[in-house]
Chain A
Amino acid sequence: EAGVTQSPTHLIKTRGQQATLRCSPISGHTSVYWYQQALGLGLQFLLWYDEGEERNRGNFPPRFSGRQFPNYSSELNVNALELEDSALYLCASSFAYEQYFGPGTRLTVT
């Protein structure tokens, strides 16, 4: 069974630009979660989507947004990038409570 996939693996952007990160969940999973992990720090919850709806949101500004498509894949958009947005962005999917993580997208903002 294929795991959670994310693309791209690495992304380099300039301050002020927009970044789009993509996630495909495990087949049969309807929930997708997004987390930010800055270097050496813990997981910070960003967004939770389930059945196409945004269910919960972490303490991040509105320039962090996303959506979930009918096939349950998801997209995270970060507008007006700032240097401190540089981090590993992790997507996880679940059917019940257990979350399974993808390999992550490392975003570097210069």
Chain B
Amino acid sequence: QKEVEQNSGPLSVPEGAIASLNCTYSDRGSQSFFWYRQYSGKSPELIMFIYSNGDKEDGRFTAQLNKASQYVSLLIRDSQPSDSATYLCAATTGGFKTIFGAGTRLFVKA
């Protein structure tokens, strides 16, 4: 069964630090990868997507993809208390089905 795995956390970092969120996927045919942020009681919000090996930066966010290791990560620089949320990793398989991980809870301490 194709899976996307994340550490459930919570991951706790102090304000201003770098938060590092990790994700592994089982389907080698996966081509597209996404990070969503979900605040409690709200719907997921797309914050990053990455298709190619390497890094992709957008503001304080950097997504990293290593297809050989089947590993995706999200770095949040200068973490703020408002970044406290659950972060969902998702991968689109070769059959165009998107599989979501269970999410990592991030807590940024002021």
Contacts and interface: CB of A to CB of B under 8 A. Distances in A.
A33 B98 contact: yes
Interface string B29-68: 0011010100000111110010000000000000000000
A100 B42 CA distance: 13
A99 interface: yes
A102 B46 contact: no
Contacts of A102: 43
Interface residues of B, number: 22
Given A97-B32, A97-B92, A90 B44 contact: yes
Interface in A78-110: 88, 90, 97-104
Interface in A40-91: 41-43, 45, 48, 55-56, 88, 90
Contact of B49 (A35, A42, A43, A97): A97
B98 A101 contact: no
Interface stretch (B9-17, B20-28, B69-77, B99-107): B99-107
A102 to B, nearest CB: 6
B88 A43 contact: yes
A76 B96 CA distance: 21
B34 A43 contact: no
Given A43-B88, A90-B43, A104-B43, A99 B98 contact: yes
B44 A43 contact: yes
Interface of A: 33, 35, 41-43, 45, 48, 55-56, 88, 90, 97-104
The 3 A-B residue pairs whose C-beta atoms are closest, nearest first, are: A42-B102, A101-B43, A97-B32
